[in-house]
């Protein structure tokens, strides 16, 4: 990891802006835990004394990490911003040490912390002094797959979604199941399978909406389909969760994926010890950022638990940048689901972005992302603004 400071200077964080925006979707998206037609986004912008502006993004999901945009904007982000402004970092190692100490303390909720981590890293990126390979490992050499996500949609929409997935070059499709409006999930999945003539691997995601009997019946009804996994069949706080997971896995043989169950390193260590999940879904936006995601992935590997990558519905270019970096440095992460779809979902991006190649001492460290505010988005969709100090 490079140890030289910024062109002979240290970096000191001098200011923090917090913007809350409500960004409309081009079309609504629904799953068992939520339905939304807009993204309630909190952007964090950190400034250094050289005039750089580093951007981070926070997408709070109460049913995932327990966080809310209201609390983040009102108290969480101002408090963490006050703890960051004025800090000085001589080297990349110093910043990494600070971030790892904060992660270990688990003082800050993971989505909030991940947004600030991204903003700090983005400052270093712009100075061409952040070596991502030193943190996440070398750039991947394998071609990642493409996971297309289909929400809880009526049967008449499924043929259209099946066609969209095929045109998008999907290599696997994730389908939301477990809705409260009488959807027949087995019939929906069989219809999709017919559209792809049985060639498309399927991942199911219940967002914690099923009982043991419902999950078992669903998997039994889909036994002839090319199922890869069932994600989060029960709520993360479900009593006797490990026993229920083992029962469903024993009955069906279908691998189970932890999503809402694993948001911190302590969660990953606990479930690695229990052994009831066969996969962890790692999302930069819910796992405390890139370093937190890296720690969770290392815990999974050490325990023989496989990985899939996820994104938050409605990610802007800021959070997508983190997802793309994680995917670009992780060969055993097969894909980040919904990554391409998020690019098309927002009706208006809150930022402009320019990607450059970053070089330090002749070494390639890019791409560097340089963000700037989209003034139209700010004018039309800004809900609140705060500055620290």
Per-residue pLDDT tens for 131-166?
A: 888 899 999 999 999 999 999 988 889 999 999 999
**CATH assignment of 11-134+356-388, among 3.90.79.10, 3.40.50.970, 3.30.390.10, 1.20.810.10:** 3.30.390.10
CATH class of 138-345: alpha beta
Looking at residue 66, what DSSP letter applies? S
Backbone phi, psi, residue 228, to 5°: -95, -35
Tokens 């078992």 found at? 216
Asked if the model's pLDDT at residue 1 lies above 50, the reply is no
Element spanning 131, H or E: none
Asked if the model's pLDDT at residue 39 lies above 80, the reply is yes
User: Using 50, 70 and 90 to split pLDDT, how confident is the model at 127?
Assistant: low
The model's pTM is 0.94
Among the listed residues 57, 6, 52, 8, the one whose alpha carbon sits nearest the alpha carbon of residue 314:
57
Looking at residue 171, what DSSP letter applies? S
User: Using 50, 70 and 90 to split pLDDT, how confident is the model at 3?
Assistant: very low
Label residues 318-345 b or e (16+ Cβ within 10 Å = b).
bbbbbbbbbbbbbeebbbbbbbbbbeeb
**Confidence (pLDDT) at 356:** 75
Lowest mean pLDDT, pick from 33-42, 102-111, 172-181, 347-356: 172-181
Same fold, 11-134+356-388 and 138-345: no
Average pLDDT over residues 326-343: 94
Per-residue pLDDT tens for 358-375?
A: 555 545 555 578 999 999
**Confidence (pLDDT) at 2:** 41
**185-195 and 155-167 are packed helices; what angle lies between their axes, rounded to 10 degrees?**
40
Task: Say what percent of the chain tops pLDDT 70.
Answer: 93
Alpha carbon separation from 245 to 159, 204, 226, 283 (Å, rounded): 32, 15, 21, 21
Determine the Cα–Cα distance for residues 252 and 263; give it in Å rounded to an integer: 26
Mean pLDDT of the chain: 92
Per-residue pLDDT tens for 228-239?
A: 999 999 999 999
Domain coordinates of the chain in residue numbers? Answer: 11-134+356-388, 138-345
- Measured in whole angstroms, how far is the alpha carbon of residue 305 from the centre of its chain? 19
Residue 251: is the preceding peptide bond cis (ω within 30°)? no
Secondary structure class of 44 (helix, strand, coil): strand
């Amino acid at each position: 990891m490079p140890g030289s400071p910024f062109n002979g200077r240290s970096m000191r964080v001098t200011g923090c802006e917090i913007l809350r925006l409500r960004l409309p979707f081009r079309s609504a998206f629904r799953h068992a835990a939520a339905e939304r037609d807009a993204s309630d986004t909190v952007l964090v912008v950190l400034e250094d004394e050289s005039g750089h502006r580093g951007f981070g993004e926070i997408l709070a999901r109460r049913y995932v990490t327990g966080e809310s945009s209201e609390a983040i904007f009102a108290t969480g982000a101002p408090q963490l911003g006050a703890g960051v402004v004025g800090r000085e970092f001589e080297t990349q190692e110093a910043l990494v040490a600070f971030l790892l100490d904060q992660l270990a303390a688990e003082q800050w909720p993971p989505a909030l912390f991940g947004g600030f981590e991204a903003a700090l890293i983005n400052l270093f990126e712009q100075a061409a002094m952040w070596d991502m390979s030193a943190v996440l490992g070398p750039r991947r050499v394998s071609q990642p797959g493409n996971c297309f996500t289909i929400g809880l949609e009526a049967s008449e929409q499924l043929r259209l979604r099946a066609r969209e997935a095929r045109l998008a070059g999907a290599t696997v499709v994730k389908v939301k199941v477990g809705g409260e409006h009488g959807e027949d999930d087995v019939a929906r999945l069989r219809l999709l399978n017919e559209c792809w003539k049985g060639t498309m691997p399927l991942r199911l995601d219940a967002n914690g909406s099923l009982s043991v009997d419902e999950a078992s019946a669903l998997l039994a009804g889909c036994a002839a389909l090319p199922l890869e996994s069932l994600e989060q069949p029960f709520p993360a706080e479900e009593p006797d969760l490990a026993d229920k997971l083992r029962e469903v896995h024993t009955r069906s043989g279908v691998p189970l994926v932890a999503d809402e169950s694993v948001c911190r390193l302590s969660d990953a260590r606990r479930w690695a010890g229990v052994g009831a999940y066969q996969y962890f879904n790692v999302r930069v936006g819910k796992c405390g950022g890139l370093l937190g995601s890296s720690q969770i992935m290392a815990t999974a590997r050490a325990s023989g638990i496989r990985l899939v990558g996820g994104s938050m519905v409605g990610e802007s270019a800021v959070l997508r940048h983190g997802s793309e970096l994680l995917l670009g440095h992780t060969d055993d992460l097969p894909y980040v689901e919904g990554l391409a779809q998020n690019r098309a979902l927002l009706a208006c991006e809150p930022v402009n972005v320019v990607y450059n190649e970053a070089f330090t001492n002749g070494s390639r460290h890019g791409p560097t992302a340089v963000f700037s505010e989209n003034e139209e988005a700010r004018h039309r969709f800004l809900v609140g603004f705060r500055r620290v100090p």
